[in-house]
Amino acid sequence: MGGPNRRYAREFKLDAVQRMETCGSVAGLANELGIRRKFLYLWWDQFRKGRVMAHGRERGLDSTRVAVGGDSAGANLAAVAVRRARDRGAAVPHFQALVYPVTDATMSHQSYTAFADGHMLTRRHMEWYFAQYLRPGTDPRHPDVSPLFAPSLPGLCPAFVLTAEYDPLRDEGEAYAGRLRDAGVEATLTRCPGLVHGFFSMGGIVPAAYRAVCEVARAVREAFE
């Protein structure tokens, strides 16, 4: 996607952020180098930038009431950041919103076969993305690559997981929600019928996508009520 379509997608994501602002302040973390940042460096860069957890009071925020979230690779980073915060004894966010998250770099789930082609995001796309992100020899089951393979998930914050019906990533997102529940973590899972990967940027033209964005905003808001 490029040109005016890319600009339109950014504009709608800004609208989604504005809806989140009804829940409180929103801090967006930019990834200047995008996929050129390799595994470990990328997620740590994002987590380091999220100083709101440690320095929220300096900005007039309540750093004990923080939600993190993202879509696709951003949801992967959010899930990893939450677990790493717990592992390091840092403040764990209050809530996590994960929209069609990347949780399993082995690409072994059935949805990768069912939707390998023809539904915007393809298996070939994901193979290329992982080739850019992972250094040669990186274990795709490393829990900071694939949150689904984290050995322990108890103690994480409640999660809202949204998946798309026609998405290669559908099954791994739903499997991660299942693992969270098995670990005693409150996890709400919603599969959006008829939608494809990337719908979070399509709300201006796809009514079902718009409703899904509103559902995420509502989940975040309710988490703090």
Catalytic one of 111, 167, 171, 201: 167
> Quick check: is 25 catalytic?
no
Instruction: Count CB atoms within 10 A of the CB of residue 6.
Output: 11
Catalytic one of 109, 119, 197, 201: 197
> Quick check: is 167 catalytic?
yes
First CA to last CA distance, the chain? 38
Nearest-angstrom CA–CA distance, 183 and 86? 14
Instruction: Count CB atoms within 10 A of the CB of residue 178.
Output: 14
Q: What is the DSSP letter of 148?
A: G
Residue 189 identity (one-letter amino acid): L
Rg (CA), the chain: 17
Confirm if 174 and 161 have CB atoms less than 8 A apart. Answer: yes
> Quick check: is 152 catalytic?
no
Catalytic one of 72, 111, 146, 201: 72
43 contact partners, CB below 8 Å, separation of at least 6: 76, 77, 80, 81, 84, 144
* Residue 41: both structure tokens together: 């460096």
* Residue 135: both structure tokens together: 């250094």
**Catalytic residue numbers, as ranges:** 72, 167, 197
